[in-house]
Amino acid sequence: MIRTLLAILCFVSLVPSAFGQKVKYKDLFVLLNAKQYDQAEPFLRKYIAEKNDNPNAYLFMGIILQEKAANNDVLKHTDIMVNNLDSAVYFYDLAYKGINEKEIKRNDEYYQAYNRRDLRTGKFGIALSDVQFDLEKRMQALKERKVLVRELKTHYDNAESLYAKAQILFKDIQSKYKNAKTLFLRSDENTINDLKRIAQTFDSSMLAFKSYKDVSSAYGNSGHNQELTLKEISNLENDGTTPADFMQDKLPLWDYKRWAENSISGIEKEIVPMRENLIAYDIAINKLREKLKKDSVSVKNDLTKLVDKILYEQLKKYDADPMPMDIFGMKIAELGYLSELINNKPLIDSANVKLKLDLLKKELKEIEALDSISTKLEARDIDADALDYSHFVKNSYGTPSVLKSLIKTTKDFADREEERKEKEVKRFTESLRWMVSETDSIPLFMEASDNSKFKPLVLVEDKYTAGFQFADSTATGYFSTINPARKGGINISFPVDKKVFNRRKLPVTKALSASDENGQVFYILFFSEEKIQEKFPATLAKIYRTDGLAWSNNFSFDLLPVEVSFHVESGEVALKTSNPAGESKMAFIDKNGKQKNTGNEK
């Protein structure tokens, strides 16, 4: 071993001069036998160039080239590797043809690697058959290796290039449609063909990759072990564009096939049928309009049945704000308003002001809905919407301009009707606030100013009102029933204690009332929160619906009145009075207006 190392060192030290002299194979063999191939190769090449009759030199040249091929990257340096494999076979073949018994006997020290014990004789020796068999195996293995290398590289290149092609096709779709909404809504046969091409290309890439992995398994350790994972494309705008490095062991790829097939399925199974459903739905609405127009009948019940939640949900899946649903909404809202007018027509001449106001409010609500959706439609980019829904627009309206004209006409109609209904609602709302008599309009709201001719102090909704009517500063009590027409009714004036009740005393004047269940007898109590001679003054009036004022009398109480109740059986009125300390008393007024007695109540 030490002699070998010394020989190698000696040979290496003579390298500069050796290139200028003939290389001695015995010296070179020291390096070759020690497997110092990197150092030996240039000398071996020079030797072979000068001498072509040394089969052992060919043998080692083949070994060196085989070693170099084994160290080449099968994917990155494929051509170099194949060239080394071919060259190794070439030199092995030269060695095979040149090695014979004579060569082995003459240069047996060069073939000690084949020195074997003969099983028959038990002696060591070098057999020509062993050398030839080894060379045959080497050449066969290298030829098979070359085939695997070519297959491996071909499948790898196909997988990589087909994936890149699928990505380019995907980017074309991405560039054309920008987002999933536009892709689905504007899709046609060309779109489906493009998507199929993406799926097929990606599928071919995956088949090539599988073949690559199969060959790689047969090849053995190639230095590459890619683990493929597929990523879902969930956003057309942002996904699917990052490049793939097929050299990496962790190989994430966009799943173009799954995306393309899902898109095709969505177009064929949902978008195409949905387009026909939009046209059918529009036709159904138009038929209802013809029915309303021809027969002058409400179609509200039909509209309720017409609402298609499934169609709306399908559209929302692809478009958060679908234009056709706004069109349908506008047309349905218009039919809803026209139906409301038809439904209200028999009642619109009623004398009942509140009923008429309720009807007007319903009509106003319907027309506001129409105005709202037509305003939204007018603000839309109908030309862009028409591209998304070209099938619907073309088959239902012909051109976008016709659709825009319909929207404008409907919006103008809604504006006019809304303005008219708002005025009517305002007028009838104001009418509800007054009872109109032959000579006066009595306010039906408590907020009347202190300077008003009438000052309401009692207001029982839709039944009656009572308060003071002033001529200058003098107060007179009034009572008025409230009827649906807000006209006529019972209007009664009655005297009150003029020393107690006037404009100046209004802030401390309060009122209570009571009536029987049938609304035939009414009691109105006015009282002051200021004492006169240590008592609280009051005026109580009794009024009959049929006979008018029965009486109006003045009273005074120790405590403030807090409740008035009417006992139908006795015809008496019970007045409960109390103070902040919790003390209370009852006062009773008979049917003729006389105070009977008082009592304490704890």
pLDDT band at 583 (very low <50, low <70, confident <90, very high): very high
Residue 448, pLDDT score: 81
Question: Which of 137-146, 459-468, 515-524, 591-600 shows the lowest per-residue confidence on average (mean pLDDT)?
Answer: 591-600
Mean pLDDT of the 158-163 span: 97
Residue type, 578: S
Cα 195 to Cα 173: distance, rounded to the nearest angstrom: 8
Residue 20, pLDDT score: 57
> Among residues of the chain, what percentage have pLDDT more than 90?
81
pLDDT tens per residue, range 65-90:
999 999 999 999 999 999 999 999 99
pLDDT tens per residue, range 217-254:
999 999 999 999 999 999 999 999 999 999 999 999 99
| pLDDT at residue 337 greater than cutoff 80 | yes
Would you call 452 exposed, middle or buried from its count of C-beta atoms within 10 A (0-12, 13-18, 19+)? middle
pLDDT band at 571 (very low <50, low <70, confident <90, very high): confident
pLDDT tens per residue, range 477-514:
999 999 999 998 899 999 999 999 999 999 999 999 99
Strands, E, within 175-308: which ranges? 227-231, 250-254
* Tokens matching residue 473: 């500063």
Residue 512 β-bridge partners: 525
Element at 386 (helix H, strand E): helix 382-388
* Tokens matching residue 30: 């020291």
Among candidate residues 206, 184, 186, 169, the one with its CA nearest the CA of residue 263: 184
572 and 588 Cβ atoms separated by less than 8 Å: yes
Residue 260 β-bridge partners: none
Residue 115, pLDDT score: 92
Mean pLDDT of the 445-459 span: 88
Mean pLDDT of the 380-401 span: 96
Residue 306, pLDDT score: 79
Would you call 587 exposed, middle or buried from its count of C-beta atoms within 10 A (0-12, 13-18, 19+)? buried
Measured CA distances, 292 to 28, 326, 446 (Å): 110, 21, 45
Mean pLDDT of the 385-409 span: 96
pLDDT band at 598 (very low <50, low <70, confident <90, very high): low
Residue 21, pLDDT score: 65
Cα 565 to Cα 574: distance, rounded to the nearest angstrom: 5
* Tokens matching residue 496: 């009150």
| pLDDT at residue 303 greater than cutoff 90 | no
pLDDT band at 7 (very low <50, low <70, confident <90, very high): very low
pLDDT tens per residue, range 400-447:
999 999 999 999 999 999 999 999 999 999 999 999 987 888 999 998
| pLDDT at residue 9 greater than cutoff 50 | no
Task: Tell which wins on pLDDT, 177 or 7.
Answer: 177
pLDDT band at 14 (very low <50, low <70, confident <90, very high): very low
Task: Tell which wins on pLDDT, 308 or 428.
Answer: 428
Residue 597, pLDDT score: 65
pLDDT band at 312 (very low <50, low <70, confident <90, very high): confident
> Among residues of the chain, what percentage have pLDDT more than 70?
95
Residue 451, pLDDT score: 78
pTM of the model: 0.73
596 and 571 Cβ atoms separated by less than 8 Å: no
Residue 33, pLDDT score: 94
Cα 543 to Cα 513: distance, rounded to the nearest angstrom: 11
**Helix, strand or coil, per DSSP, at residue 487:** strand
* Tokens matching residue 88: 């190794």
The average confidence (pLDDT) of the chain is: 91
Mean pLDDT of the 193-203 span: 97
| pLDDT at residue 288 greater than cutoff 60 | yes
